[in-house]
Structure 1
Amino acid sequence: MTRPGFPGAPAGPVRKPKSFGEGARRLMGRLRPERLTLVFVVALGVASVAFTVVGPKILGHATDIIFGGFVSRRLPAGTTTEQAIAAARAEGNTNLADMLARMDVVPGAGIDFAALGRVLSWVLVLYVAASVFGWLQGYLLNGAVQRVVYRLRADVEAKLHRLPLRYFDGQPRGELLSRVTNDIDNIALTLQQALSQLLTSLLSLIGVLVMMFVVSPLLAVIALLVVPASIVLTRAIGKRSQKLFVAQWKHTGALNAHIEEAFSGHELVTVFGRRREVEQEFGRRNADLYRAGMGAQFISGIIMPAMMFLSNLSYVVLAVVGGLRVATGTMTLGDVQAFLQYSRQFTQPLTQAASLANLLQSGVASAERVFELLDAAEQEPDTASPVLPERRRGRVEFEHVDFSYDPQRPLIEDLSLVAEPGQTVAIVGPTGAGKTTLVNLIMRFYELDAGRITLDGVDITAMTRDDLRGQTGMVLQDTWLFNGTIRDNIAYGNPSATPEQVEAAARATFVDRFVRSLPDGYDTVIDDEGTNLSAGEKQLVTIARAFLADPSLLILDEATSSVDTRTEALLQQAMAALRTDRTSFVIAHRLSTIRDADLILVMESGRIVEQGTHEELLDAGGAYYRLYSAQFRSPVEAAT
């Protein structure tokens, strides 16, 4: 199977989306701890919207005062309103008479600026209050959303520590990082924007609808004809774009996985001249992301202009009908003005909700990916009644152990062995023989299929993983350093260690020898890749870290493969001094490093085919002898 990230690797099928409703329901369920805050948010939203929707009705009254004053000035002074209406009817101007009957006019008078000022002052107060309540609503809602995302990140972080190693073996690191970073950031953006706008839109829709029926039931019914068309249009478009949003985030994870893998091996890619292939693979994955993103944004983007078209069409119809009703005296000009404002406010929430459809779909697609991580099967929980060895000695025993990564392909079958305290047990064999698997089982990185492993007489499953691994020091072939000082990286093995203890461990592992030559000594800052240290120096730091932990069990997986021969000899001397009352498992391909081991295990296909000391195994002339001869015979002997 081709590893993802290199030419020929399959991009993987785009998974089908789950139910949008189910994903949204689980995402909204995350808001449950913020119930009290949301109650205040809704209350403030109701107050803000109430003040906002009352404004146009009052402004309509201001329009009536201005229009009434304008008409009053044109009527003969000294007459009454009834006389003016009767005169209009006598002239056959029935529409004008009906209009005057609906208006508050004083023949000969002008605009009542005092009344107009009072009305506008009330409008100003209402809008200022609406703004204050809206600001408070946004402040509380933003805090609630950030707390939800904070808890989600914490849950994901805790989940990662509960997942078995099998899960990480099957996940490209870039894909996993994309779920933990990009998808959670997208969820935060969705909750931040969508919740606020959706809440405001819903409340505005209700408030405006009520005021529309108060002003004119007929015009309200006409305006409501837009709603069914909007719902049908939004659902039809949203159904198609949801799949594309899921594909967009899937391809984002695949592209991140390729970038992370290709650039972490940038030197090898360059050395083997595969940059063109890597660039082509990047281009292919980038094109997949482009097509998915372009399709999702384009289809969901149709919603906004379509809703604007329906809104403008409704506005024209309402303006024509409203003008006719003013002309017939059925409505006042101020009421028509207020209703047209309400019609805009009515369609605006619908348009906002529709425009949020792409954001909601993108957020729910990201939520599905994060929930998949949170729903992944966890490692078996620690025992509720842990047991600790009475004395830390480091005796390890395998009793009829069976293990396989794939049930269809057995690896380790009926394996039994004993490592006594203070022994150095070397494990050798060809690649894929199960050497690293053996020590991973001791650390409980994987669970056994059958049998058991004991540490100082206690089944390791009867101990908590923290207790088990707290007694174990492990040094891998691949070094891991974090961004910090050399002192901090060594002290990672025992955070409570004093500076003197850190330096003592460094001297025992010959780290002190090269640290003293650095300008800042132990305070030299190294990055997470350790680029300012050589490969051998990085390995020495990790060995010093394991020594500082003072474990009863020491595991070295090709730990000296990156150091020079002289340093390797010095490390052998240091490890010999540290083996007192401590069991050591050493995985090695260079057989020269394990000649002095107390016990050498030779593994083939998950089985121990030979065991004994270096001399005993050479005298036996079996698998170990063949490995040793193949490694140390001269080129001439190899040619013959």
Structure 2
Amino acid sequence: MNNENPVWKSVKGTLQAHPRTGALVAVLVVLSVTTSLLPPLVLEKAVDSLTEGRGIPWQLGALYIGLIVLSDCCETAQNGAITLFGQKVTHGLRSTLCAKLDRLPARYFTGHPSGQTASVFVNDGDTIDALYSDGIVGMLADACKLLGILGILWSRSRGLFAILCLVLPLLFMLTRHFQRGTLAAQRENRRAIGRVNSHVPETIRNIRTIHTLGKEPYMEDRYDSLITDSFRAINRANVFDGIYSPIILVTQAAVVAVIMVGASQGPAWADLFGLSVGSAVAVIAYVGKIFGPLESIGMEIQSIQSAMAGIQHIGEFLDEPEREPVSASPLPEELRQKAVAFSHVTFGYDPARPILRDFSCSLEPGEQAILMGPSGCGKSTLFKLLLGMYSPWQGNVALLGHRAGTIPEGEKRSLYGCVEQEFLAVPGTVKDQVTLGDDSVTPEQVDRALALVGLKETVDRMPQGKETPMGDGLFSQGELQLLNIARAVAREPRLLLLDEITANLDSQTEARVLEALERAARGRTVLSISHRFSRMMAGQRIVRMG
């Protein structure tokens, strides 16, 4: 397990990749802190000069105004640099998450709802972005500012310094109490949001089934329950946040009142608090600057604790076990000669319930076979083993002379094509549906694939041809399945894997798809799962399972 905080690791990576940005943030923080401490000192001189009857020199007034403007400019530049740095950190963190996603085994996706994974990238990633954009580095600057103010007050008013030394630890303990309560509420809220993000796509994906079974009230009640859990959690966090800031303001007013009362009690108290009129004005300004950062922390507790909960979720995601490399040991000679080979394969998703037991089957190059058997006997599981999504517990799985799972990503589409039951569109044009963004697929290969399945003329009649943006209603259900076949054969593979591709089609559309499949299957090895193919492909080998 990687014990290093993923955000801190991303910060270090950003500093190494963008050292100038990190240096700029550090310089601007120093300038912002320094310039913010100077105006009260100038104000003290101006007020003392005024009370002594000497008036305020214009140079002093100009210096005071100039320092305020300079302080605001430095703070603005600091916030901009912090936001820029935070964006780079968030970009690096999300890049790390994407790289991790590519290394996860298939069992992770079967055991975790898609909405939960998306929540890590979107919601938890946004909280990290907010952590920087809303001022975590600014809070570090406030801490430096706080130390500077305490140093100045030590030299100006020992009494005030003593009072603050008593008050600040109490406020720190109060802050920690609110942080713990808010953190628990934010964690519960993040979990509830993850469940909501899983529920919504699940509902949309199964909306027809839900409507057919009349389960809309059940799904609505379930959604309301999840939203209520989130609402209650965020309400608890809001209560902590709403109480904290008024406590800071009341404490600030009480400290100023104690100072004023103490300074008015006689020479001994006045010496202790060291207050002239100008000093009193400066001290009040500095007291406001002390409690200002604490109040800001109170306002930011929610985003900080939400980010901590997000960091925990991101850390858990990054700690997920990755795909174990498949053994690259040489295949037996008899398996290397086969187009597809399962040799004494035992496998299951649950260690206590194997689906395949000592299963063996092979296809010669150019042979076409159909897997038949009852649901649950392992037909689709064989495809998952062939595609390298899982590794068998025992035995060997090979295709086209390669051990399944060891084929480089860039070579897979040139070796085999897989046609699933449903067409899954990708963002982009009609051409992108065939190429899947693979630049190695040439325009000529796209045209040949579309012509092979009988869609070339249909696509050519579209306003922009292959460059027509993909959208709902552009193709019928049958045409989408033909496009699915075109996608599989675009790189001219030697092996086709067909998974019940006519299961959801009417008889007329099915006939058109089967004609396209017959053309696509010529000269290729074909392994299919389909009950209907058993009568449509007479003379082909049938492999019975179960």
Scaled by the length of structure 2, the TM-score of the pair is 0.91
- 1:27, 1:364 within 8 Å by CA — same for their partners in 2? no
Name the counterpart of 1:321.
262
Q: For residues 432-476 of structure 1, what are the alpha-carbon distances to aligned partners after superposition, in whole Å with 9 as ceiling and x for unaligned?
A: 110000011011011111111123333335543543454110010
Which of residues 47, 69, 72 is equivalent to 1:131? 72
Name the counterpart of 1:363.
307
Task: State how far apart, in whole Å, the 2-side matches of 1:42 and 1:520 are.
Answer: 52
- 1:537, 1:563 within 8 Å by CA — same for their partners in 2? no
- 2:400, 2:415 within 8 Å by CA — same for their partners in 1? no
Which of residues 49, 53, 57 is equivalent to 1:65? 49
Name the counterpart of 1:540.
482
Task: State how far apart, in whole Å, the 2-side matches of 1:531 and 1:176 are.
Answer: 30
Name the counterpart of 1:262.
203
Matched, 1:28 2:12: no
| Cα distance change of structure 1 residues 438 and 385 upon mapping to structure 2, 3 Å threshold | closer
Task: State how far apart, in whole Å, the 2-side matches of 1:364 and 1:541 are.
Answer: 45
Most deviating of 416-425 and 478-487 = 478-487
Structure 2 counterparts to residues 623-634 of structure 1, below 5 A: none
Structure 1 letter corresponding to 2:44: G
Which of residues 240, 243, 250 is equivalent to 2:184? 243
Name the counterpart of 2:507.
565
Structure 2 counterparts to residues 438-477 of structure 1, below 5 A: 438-468=382-412, 470-477=414-421
Which of residues 168, 190, 193 is equivalent to 2:109? 168
CA apart distance, 1:356 = 1.9
Task: State how far apart, in whole Å, the 1-side matches of 2:166 and 2:36 are.
Answer: 24
| Cα distance change of structure 1 residues 597 and 393 upon mapping to structure 2, 3 Å threshold | farther
| Cα distance change of structure 1 residues 575 and 279 upon mapping to structure 2, 3 Å threshold | closer
Structure 1 letter corresponding to 2:499: D
- 2:182, 2:301 within 8 Å by CA — same for their partners in 1? no
Structure 1 letter corresponding to 2:9: G
| Cα distance change of structure 1 residues 494 and 315 upon mapping to structure 2, 3 Å threshold | closer
CA apart distance, 1:516 = 5.3
Task: State how far apart, in whole Å, the 2-side matches of 1:383 and 1:147 are.
Answer: 38
Q: For residues 41-84 of structure 1, what are the alpha-carbon distances to aligned partners after superposition, in whole Å with 9 as ceiling and x for unaligned?
A: 23322222222212111111100111110xxxxxxxxxxxxxxx
Structure 2 letter corresponding to 1:267: R
Task: State how far apart, in whole Å, the 1-side matches of 2:409 and 2:427 are.
Answer: 26
CA apart distance, 1:283 = 1.1
Name the counterpart of 2:453.
509
Task: State how far apart, in whole Å, the 1-side matches of 2:95 and 2:44 are.
Answer: 52
Matched, 1:213 2:154: yes
Task: State how far apart, in whole Å, the 2-side matches of 1:503 and 1:559 are.
Answer: 22
The DSSP-based 3-state class of the residue aligned with 1:41 is: helix
Structure 2 counterparts to residues 106-505 of structure 1, below 5 A: 111-113=54-56, 116-324=57-265, 331-381=275-325, 395-468=339-412, 470-492=414-436, 495-505=439-449
Task: State how far apart, in whole Å, the 2-side matches of 1:208 and 1:450 are.
Answer: 70
Structure 1 letter corresponding to 2:159: L
The DSSP-based 3-state class of the residue aligned with 1:255 is: helix
| Cα distance change of structure 1 residues 547 and 232 upon mapping to structure 2, 3 Å threshold | same
Which of residues 7, 17, 26 is equivalent to 1:42? 26
Name the counterpart of 2:36.
52
Task: State how far apart, in whole Å, the 1-side matches of 2:248 and 2:138 are.
Answer: 17
| Cα distance change of structure 1 residues 172 and 210 upon mapping to structure 2, 3 Å threshold | same
Q: For residues 182-208 of structure 1, what are the alpha-carbon distances to aligned partners after superposition, in whole Å with 9 as ceiling and x for unaligned?
A: 111111011221323312211210111
Q: For residues 299-343 of structure 1, what are the alpha-carbon distances to aligned partners after superposition, in whole Å with 9 as ceiling and x for unaligned?
A: 243222222222221121122223446895753211111111111
| Cα distance change of structure 1 residues 536 and 325 upon mapping to structure 2, 3 Å threshold | farther
| Cα distance change of structure 1 residues 517 and 441 upon mapping to structure 2, 3 Å threshold | same
Task: State how far apart, in whole Å, the 1-side matches of 2:246 and 2:193 are.
Answer: 28
CA apart distance, 1:580 = 4.4
| Cα distance change of structure 1 residues 412 and 386 upon mapping to structure 2, 3 Å threshold | closer
| Cα distance change of structure 1 residues 230 and 29 upon mapping to structure 2, 3 Å threshold | farther
Q: For residues 253-285 of structure 1, what are the alpha-carbon distances to aligned partners after superposition, in whole Å with 9 as ceiling and x for unaligned?
A: 111111111122223322332222221111111
Name the counterpart of 1:556.
498
Most deviating of 272-281 and 459-468 = 459-468
Aligned residues: 535
| Cα distance change of structure 1 residues 424 and 66 upon mapping to structure 2, 3 Å threshold | same
CA apart distance, 1:498 = 3.8
Structure 2 counterparts to residues 87-102 of structure 1, below 5 A: none
Structure 2 letter corresponding to 1:540: L
Which of residues 584, 595, 614 is equivalent to 2:526? 584
- 1:41, 1:137 within 8 Å by CA — same for their partners in 2? yes
- 1:394, 1:552 within 8 Å by CA — same for their partners in 2? no
Task: State how far apart, in whole Å, the 2-side matches of 1:43 and 1:522 are.
Answer: 53
| Cα distance change of structure 1 residues 376 and 477 upon mapping to structure 2, 3 Å threshold | same
Task: State how far apart, in whole Å, the 2-side matches of 1:322 and 1:341 are.
Answer: 16
| Cα distance change of structure 1 residues 131 and 385 upon mapping to structure 2, 3 Å threshold | farther
CA apart distance, 1:362 = 0.6
- 1:428, 1:588 within 8 Å by CA — same for their partners in 2? yes
Give me the identity figure in percent.
29
- 2:326, 2:405 within 8 Å by CA — same for their partners in 1? yes
| Cα distance change of structure 1 residues 461 and 48 upon mapping to structure 2, 3 Å threshold | closer
Structure 1 letter corresponding to 2:40: P
- 1:588, 1:594 within 8 Å by CA — same for their partners in 2? no
The DSSP-based 3-state class of the residue aligned with 2:135 is: helix
| Cα distance change of structure 1 residues 128 and 597 upon mapping to structure 2, 3 Å threshold | farther
| Cα distance change of structure 1 residues 118 and 561 upon mapping to structure 2, 3 Å threshold | same
- 1:444, 1:465 within 8 Å by CA — same for their partners in 2? no
| Cα distance change of structure 1 residues 523 and 563 upon mapping to structure 2, 3 Å threshold | farther
| Cα distance change of structure 1 residues 184 and 199 upon mapping to structure 2, 3 Å threshold | same
Structure 2 letter corresponding to 1:506: L
| Cα distance change of structure 1 residues 320 and 46 upon mapping to structure 2, 3 Å threshold | farther
Task: State how far apart, in whole Å, the 2-side matches of 1:219 and 1:426 are.
Answer: 87
Task: State how far apart, in whole Å, the 1-side matches of 2:286 and 2:434 are.
Answer: 69
| Cα distance change of structure 1 residues 321 and 576 upon mapping to structure 2, 3 Å threshold | same
Most deviating of 422-431 and 571-580 = 571-580
Scaled by the length of structure 1, the TM-score of the pair is 0.78
The DSSP-based 3-state class of the residue aligned with 2:424 is: coil
Contiguous gaps of at least 5 residues in structure 2 = none
Task: State how far apart, in whole Å, the 1-side matches of 2:201 and 2:389 are.
Answer: 24
Task: State how far apart, in whole Å, the 1-side matches of 2:306 and 2:151 are.
Answer: 33
Task: State how far apart, in whole Å, the 2-side matches of 1:384 and 1:323 are.
Answer: 86
| Cα distance change of structure 1 residues 383 and 310 upon mapping to structure 2, 3 Å threshold | farther
The DSSP-based 3-state class of the residue aligned with 1:306 is: helix
Task: State how far apart, in whole Å, the 2-side matches of 1:219 and 1:318 are.
Answer: 7
Structure 2 counterparts to residues 607-618 of structure 1, below 5 A: none
Contiguous gaps of at least 5 residues in structure 1 = 1-21, 70-110, 605-640
The DSSP-based 3-state class of the residue aligned with 1:356 is: helix
